Amino acid sequence: MHMKQITEKRIKSPMPAYTAAACIIVFGLIFPLYRVYGIVLVAVIAAAAYFFSKKCFFKDKIIQEESEPVFRTGIAELDESLEQANVLIEQLRRANISIKNPAVSAHIDRMTRSGDAILAELNAHPEKARKLRRFLTYYLPTSVKFMQTYAEHEAAPTGGENSAEIMRGIENNSETIAKAFETSLDSLYAGEALDISSDIDVLNGMVNAKTSMFE
């Protein structure tokens, strides 16, 4: 049995805007709009009316909608794992938006493309999931952490040698991680996935050690 996903949709009431417009009309007749102070005063009154009516009288309406789950393998635990992996891939995409280094960004694009394809294949063929347990539980979440860390350090206005070393470590390994994603996808069809556990462990240890110096 598959549980349907519940999503919330917020519907904004138009009444606060109507209230503000009414205030502009009414108080525009009272205060001289050809004077700066009159314009400012009416604008302040209209804004106050908008926010007060929105908060006290015309609150946004929230409705719940049911939608079919994205993943339907027939195995509840696997569906949950795929949902979590899908969230992580979206986090990779968001991190990539702010990353300026073109090489690292290109490697993340390869990761997300392979990640999407992996989830689609596992959704269609859940019996293959055992091949990629390590990818779902270790490679993917750790890779997301690396790229988010890289984005944070790259965006920092100033950074010392520790920050630079973290970035170099991730830059030097981003292509290897992208290749691991691609071979993980290939392994679903034939062959074995590239095992980069030792590479990731070393990089993870370095990032954790250097990051702790900022705390």
Query: Does the model's pTM come out above 0.85?
Result: no
Residue 206 phi/psi, 5-degree rounding, is -65, -45
Amino acid at 53: S
Residue 185 pLDDT > 70, yes or no? yes
For residues 141-160, average pLDDT: 88
Neighbours of 81 (CB within 10 A): 20
The residue among 128, 147, 46 whose CA lies nearest residue 90 is 147
Q: Which of 52-56, 59-63, 200-204 has the highest mean pLDDT?
A: 52-56
Residue length of the chain:
215
Reported for 84-92, long-range contacts at CB under 8 A and 24+ positions apart, including other chains, are: 84/136, 85/115, 85/118, 85/119, 85/136, 85/140, 86/119, 88/115, 88/140, 88/141, 88/144, 89/115, 89/116, 89/119, 89/140, 91/144, 91/148, 92/143, 92/144, 92/147
Mean pLDDT of the chain, nearest integer: 81
pLDDT at position 195 over 60: no
Per-domain boundaries in the chain = 9-65, 76-212
**Given a cut of 90, is residue 147 above it in pLDDT?**
yes
In our burial notation (b when 16+ CB lie closer than 10 A, e otherwise), range 143-160 reads: bbbbbbbbbbbbeeeebe
